[in-house]
């Protein structure tokens, strides 16, 4: 039976370590600070940002949530970012995506000081990561590495296949795995005979953003599956294709009218040696690594 890699427990462990670091910095008169910028009234984004702010409070990190209106312009947002770049009490700047279509997201993310870029999206941090130099790495890929290491999954010498090439997850995850001495293959929508490639993976990272895309015939027996996907499904037929006979999921679906599935079809976990569940896997690490990045940014800015 496949081993479940418990994101809940690992995230809790990282948070305890961050809280200890915050306490140590407090003894030196330093309190890490995070500014979260949330534009408009997107319900999912509001929930996500509030959870980040709440976690800051729990760990002793100063946090401030800024909520420009939906009508905010790119120039107004750029001025806000400049102000945050210049504030000495702010070590990390988080701009919650997606932004309204009329706001130039790329210009905005590039305007964030690389030293305060706790999401790891700035080209300077991407370059540092590629070069193997100290950098603020994107939170989700960093969480993938933490899950593997803290679960005792060997990375060095293993063949890791990353399905997905986004700048936020796929590419940085591949780079971090490479730095851990894995042999890395990146796949995407144009990859020929994708199943033949994924079946070679000792570690299979699914980050393509399509519900249940990785099926059991695409998995090498005994492989470790890291499912990064978070896809909400509301269609009954689609639900049945994933979770028929799953009483617990059925109860959730009946109550909420929806449920969450990753990029890996649940049947594929029967083939795996270990896997991250959805929910309860990689997603929980994202916030934990954001907290870790904020503390790291605070220390780097002060030469510690």
Supply the residues annotated as catalytic: 52, 96, 119
The DSSP code for 103 is S
Taking the C-alpha atoms of residue 42 and residue 47, their distance in angstroms, rounded to an integer, is 9
* Alpha helices in the chain, H assignment, sequence order: 7-26, 43-59, 74-86, 105-111, 123-130, 139-150, 170-179, 194-198, 236-243, 247-256, 282-301
Nearest to 94 by CA among 76, 80, 104: 80
Cα torsion angle, 44, 48, 49, 50, sign = positive
Largest interatomic CA distance in the chain: 57
Output DSSP code: residue 278.
S
Name, in order, each residue with C-beta under 8 angstroms of 85's C-beta and a sequence gap of 6 or more: 93, 111, 112, 113, 116
Q: Are 136 and 120 in contact (CB under 8 A)?
A: yes
Query: Which residue in the block uniquely carries the two structure tokens 């709440």?
Result: 54
CB 167 within 8 A of CB 126: yes
Question: What does the alpha-carbon distance between residue 92 and residue 263 come to, in Å, rounded to a whole number?
Answer: 30
d(CA 226, CA 233): 20
Q: Are strands 259-261 and 231-233 parallel, antiparallel or unpaired?
A: antiparallel
Tokens of 225: 């599956």
Q: In the chain, helix, strand, coil percent, each to 5?
A: 45, 15, 40
């Amino acid at each position: 039976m496949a081993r479940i890699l418990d994101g809940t427990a690992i995230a809790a462990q990282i948070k305890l370590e961050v809280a200890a670091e915050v306490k140590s910095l407090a003894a030196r008169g330093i309190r890490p600070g995070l500014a979260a910028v949330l534009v408009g009234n997107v319900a999912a984004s509001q929930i996500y940002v509030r959870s980040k702010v709440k976690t800051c409070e729990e760990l002793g990190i100063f946090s401030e949530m800024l909520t420009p209106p939906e009508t905010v312009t790119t120039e107004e947002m750029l001025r806000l970012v400049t102000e945050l770049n210049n504030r000495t009490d702010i070590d990390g700047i988080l701009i919650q995506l997606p932004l309204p279509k009329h706001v130039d997201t790329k210009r905005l993310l590039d305007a964030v000081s690389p030293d305060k870029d706790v999401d790891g999206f700035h080209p300077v941090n991407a370059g540092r990561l590629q070069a193997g130099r100290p950098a603020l790495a994107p939170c989700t890929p960093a969480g993938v590495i933490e899950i593997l290491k803290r679960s005792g999954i060997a990375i060095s010498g293993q063949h890791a296949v990353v399905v997905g090439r986004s700048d936020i997850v796929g590419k940085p995850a591949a780079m971090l795995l490479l730095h851990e001495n894995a042999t890395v293959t990146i796949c995407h929508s144009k990859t020929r005979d994708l199943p033949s490639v994924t079946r070679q993976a000792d570690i299979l990272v699914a980050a393509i953003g399509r519900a249940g895309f990785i099926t059991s015939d695409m998995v090498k027996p005994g492989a470790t599956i890291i499912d990064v996907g978070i896809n909400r499904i509301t269609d009954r037929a689609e639900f049945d294709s994933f979770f028929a006979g799953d009483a617990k999921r059925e109860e959730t679906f009946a109550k909420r009218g929806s449920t969450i599935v990753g990029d890996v079809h649940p049947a594929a976990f029967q083939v795996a040696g270990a896997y991250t569940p959805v929910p309860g896997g990689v997603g929980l690490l994202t916030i934990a690594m954001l907290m870790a990045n904020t503390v790291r940014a605070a220390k780097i800015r002060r030469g510690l």
